[in-house]
Amino acid sequence: MPEGPEIRRVADRLGKVLVGVPLTQVWFAFPELEAMAGRLRQTHVTAVDCWGKALLVIFADGHVLYSHNQLYGVWRLHRSDQPPRTNRILRARLSTSRHTASLYSASDISLWTTETLERQPFLARLGPDLLTHDVSTGDIVARLGERRFASRGLGSLLLDQGFYAGIGNYLRSEILFYAGLRPMKRPKDLSDTQREKLANSILTTILQAYREAGVTNRPVWRKRVQQAGERRAQWRFAVFDRDGKPCHACGATIQRESVASRRFYYCPVCQQG
């Protein structure tokens, strides 16, 4: 399932072709939404944003189209005169004279307004989005110290979207590797220096994943693997999905275990903090 960086990139791609451009078609598969299609076609898109794994299309009249891809949903961009060939079920379509954004297979779609959006059940449970809400390292350090988070094991806390939205399973392993921490550690167990390092790891890792299309490995490490002819799956990450392989930093064997019912990867040498 895509994580925050992937959804942010989708939002950016949609925004480039939809924002500020007159709409020629607005169509929904669901009758309660289709009733609003004519009105939305008379306005235009002012922004395409995301919050965690939810995508938000914001219209000039104040309406907001909420969609969550869940396991199978996907937005596809294509020329308006060249719809893609697919067996997926079309759920929504927003078209300009040149481009179309088509949403396939998603079932969680609804219309809100900028005033009512905070009451959307999924969004109401989310913490700030690391790529949308201008989060700083200091913000993360402060949040780690809050009572509701300080006693949680990091392995489960990082997956809790109420802590910060957008961190998924591959990011969790990568973040804790760069922070030098094991998943059973709690924020309250950490020194000030460790909390600062963890906060920096959270922010820099998700920003790198966003900028480099899901790649979180350090350039010098991945270059070495690329030159050896390895496939992308082996050079994309520092530790995730690399059990049995040598650590890029120290050469120890990467281990895998289950943490919070999800697979977790770590270096037993680098992560002794």
pLDDT digits (tens, 9 = 90+) for 147-177: 999 999 999 999 999 999 999 999 999 999 9
Distance of CA 193 to the CA centre of its chain: 27
Of the chain, the percentage scoring pLDDT greater than 70 comes to 99
Strand partners, 19: 45
Instruction: Return d(Cα 154, Cα 112) in angstroms, integer.
Output: 34
Instruction: Return d(Cα 209, Cα 175) in angstroms, integer.
Output: 11
pLDDT of residue 31: 94
Of the chain, the percentage scoring pLDDT greater than 90 comes to 88
Q: Is the pLDDT of residue 84 over 90?
A: no
pLDDT in tens, 107-122: 899 999 999 998 999 9
3-class DSSP assignment, residue 34: helix
Helix ranges (DSSP H) in the chain: 4-18, 31-34, 37-41, 121-124, 137-144, 147-150, 154-157, 169-179, 192-211, 219-227, 232-235
CA neighbor of 20 nearest in space, from 59, 61, 73: 59
- Residue 273 banded pLDDT, cuts 50, 70, 90: low
What is the number of other CB atoms lying within 10 angstroms of the CB of residue 50?
A: 23
Among 9, 53, 91, 185, the one annotated catalytic:
53
Q: CATH assignment of 137-266?
A: 1.10.8.50
pLDDT of residue 229: 86
Backbone φ and ψ of 160, nearest 5°: -75, 110
Q: Is 185 a catalytic residue?
A: no
The answer to whether 156 touches 260, Cβ cutoff 8 Å, is yes
Going from the C-alpha of 52 to that of each of 83, 126, 151, the distances in angstroms are 28, 8, 23
Among 16, 148, 232, 262, the one annotated catalytic:
262
Instruction: Return d(Cα 130, Cα 24) in angstroms, integer.
Output: 34
Fold for domain 4-124?
A: N-terminal domain of MutM-like DNA repair proteins (3.20.190)
pLDDT in tens, 203-243: 999 999 999 999 999 999 999 888 888 888 889 999 999 99
- Report, as an integer, the average pLDDT of 77-104: 93
Q: Is 262 a catalytic residue?
A: yes
For 244: left if phi > 0, alpha if psi spans -120 to 50, otherwise beta; the answer is: left
Q: Which residues in the chain are classed under CATH 3.20.190.10?
A: 4-124
CA neighbor of 35 nearest in space, from 63, 68, 14: 63
The answer to whether 109 touches 28, Cβ cutoff 8 Å, is yes
pLDDT of residue 69: 84
Looking at per-residue pLDDT, the higher value among 171 and 83 belongs to 171
Extract the tokens encoding 167.
Answer: 């961190």
Q: Which residues in the chain are classed under CATH 1.10.8.50?
A: 137-266
Q: Is the pLDDT of residue 2 over 80?
A: no
Among 3, 93, 143, 185, the one annotated catalytic:
3
Extract the tokens encoding 48.
Answer: 């395409």
Instruction: Return d(Cα 178, Cα 258) in angstroms, integer.
Output: 19
Among 2, 83, 182, 245, the one annotated catalytic:
2
Extract the tokens encoding 86.
Answer: 């697919």
- Residue 72 banded pLDDT, cuts 50, 70, 90: confident
The residues, ordered by sequence, that sit 6+ positions from 192 with a Cβ below 8 Å of its Cβ are none
Extract the tokens encoding 226.
Answer: 């690329």
Average per-residue pLDDT for the chain: 95
Instruction: Return d(Cα 273, Cα 225) in angstroms, integer.
Output: 27
Instruction: Return d(Cα 14, Cα 32) in angstroms, integer.
Output: 24
- Report, as an integer, the average pLDDT of 253-263: 96
Q: Is 16 a catalytic residue?
A: no
The residues, ordered by sequence, that sit 6+ positions from 21 with a Cβ below 8 Å of its Cβ are 44, 45, 96, 97
Q: Is the pLDDT of residue 1 over 70?
A: no
Q: Is 5 a catalytic residue?
A: no
Q: Is the pLDDT of residue 27 over 90?
A: yes
